[in-house]
Amino acid sequence: MFRKKVPVEKGLKIIIVGGGKVGATLIQQLIKEGHTITIIDKNPATIQELTNLYDIMGIIGNGASYSVQMEAGIQDTDLLIAVTASDELNLLCCTIAKRVGDCAAIARVRNPDYSREVNYLRDRLGLAMIINPELEAAREAARILCLPTALEVNPFAHGQVEMIKFKIPEGNILDGMTIANFGQHITNAVLICVVERKGNVHIPSGTFQLAKGDIISFVCQRNLTRSFLETIALKTHRVNDTMIIGGGKSAYYLARQLCDMGISVKIIEINRARCEELSILLPKAIIINGDGTDEELLKEEGIERAESVVALTGIDEENVLLTLHARHVSDAKVITKINRLSFKDVISQLDLGSVIYPRFFTSEAIIAYVRAKTNSTNSNIETLYHLFDSRVEAIEFRIERESAVTNVPLKDLPTKDGLLVSFINRNGKIIIPGGNDCIKPGDTVMIVTTHEGLVDIRNILR
């Protein structure tokens, strides 16, 4: 066992089983938010590295072992998170934790065999959450392919509202327009929440002037998204065909969704046995057994004519090169899967189009749950997304009861700088708020902010 001095307890006591990429990402975020962390992993080198990097306790061992969980302090732990490479081990860790300790439990489960049984497993095992990052990554990719102009599409209010990210092209009507003029001359049904310019992120005020090359995120009701994009002369039609390079779990989930939507799918996978498996699982898709990094094969399979190319191999460098190649030889909409978080600054400068980080889907869902479990009863967190390389958070709060932020016109609320109330969902009616609108108990409210760690709606106040 490796131990480091842990500070006076603050927040929740959390055990994380599995010190891989997702485990490390969770530690980094949860430590910042003041929680006490214990990490369990079988690999001594992993424990040594993580306990050297962070002020946590580390235990070498099998996280599904009763004695190891007892050593980690399961009996007075608030939450156990199992993110090992094995779905079955994750479920077993959570099952034992629920039997031994009075704690909540979250499991990462990625196997398609379990994907249709998630609700049953969660309910029968008494888990707080089951997360499938590959499935969530595929859903994000499918949303983008349905709206190829977008770099990202994030749903809120149970899918009623979308936050769309796109880049302002040269000659667009938005170039040179202020946020105030946008509301007056184009629409008040859309709110521009974030603007990234030359690497700097802004929560824009009414006087902020947009410019070509800006990457902006806006929110609006889902049924208004296409008409708004058409108003500003951007393409809105979904793709008709997709070439997916790599035949892993994410590729399967994405292909299944696209085939169900009537989009033609071609998957290139180097492993012959996996190709045979995919051909049975996805009878509507074309499965090609070959090396997706072979330029001649890609040309032969029609990459130059493809409407979209999605790089989903297990190697980040391959995905980056495949995307750059696709952009060079075609006009395809491209999506790149990146697993590692290192070199993000370099990646952001490569103009890869839409980049998907599957591990973020796991960490964001867990962090939203942890913040909801930590906060008071005034509000609860429904949804959380990290945007613009985690420099911005979009958080959807459910307002449980009256507080200092309710029944006060927004123009009179002393909110922090770098923060915007983006929409109010009141009994299913979406309000893009003006200064005279109020937050009321029963609403859900989305806050976009450059501040980290908001756990309660009252945190928006200075």
Q: Domains in the chain, please, with CATH?
A: 13-131 (3.40.50.720), 241-356 (3.40.50.720), 362-460 (3.30.70.1450)
Tell me which residue of 433, 420, 373, 446 sits closest to 155, measured CA to CA.
446
Six-digit token string for 381 = 């967190």
Q: What is the pLDDT of residue 7?
A: 36
CA–CA distance, 78 with 103 (Å, rounded to integer): 5
Q: What is residue 351's predicted lDDT score, i.e. its pLDDT?
A: 77
Residue 187 CB partners (closer than 8 Å, separation 6+)? 228, 231
Give residue 8's pLDDT.
33
Q: What is the model's pLDDT at position 33?
A: 86
CA proximity to 270, closest of 308, 307, 305, 322: 322
- How far apart are the C-alpha atoms of 154 and 352, rounded to whole Å? 19
Q: What is the pLDDT of residue 375?
A: 65
Maximum distance among all Cα pairs of the chain, rounded to whole angstroms: 66
CA separation, residue 383 to residues 208, 343, 443, 448 (Å):
28, 27, 14, 12
Nearest to 427 by CA among 451, 448, 393, 399: 399
The pLDDT, as a whole number, for residue 453 is 83
| Ranges of residues in the chain whose predicted pLDDT is under 70 | 1-10, 341-345, 375-378
Check residue 378 and give its pLDDT. 67
- HSE-CB at 228 with a 13 A cutoff on CA atoms is 26
Residue with tokens 């008071």: 376
Q: Are 162 and 155 in contact (CB under 8 A)?
A: yes
pLDDT of residue 1: 44
Does an H or E element contain 81, and which?
strand 79-82
How much is the pLDDT for 362?
84
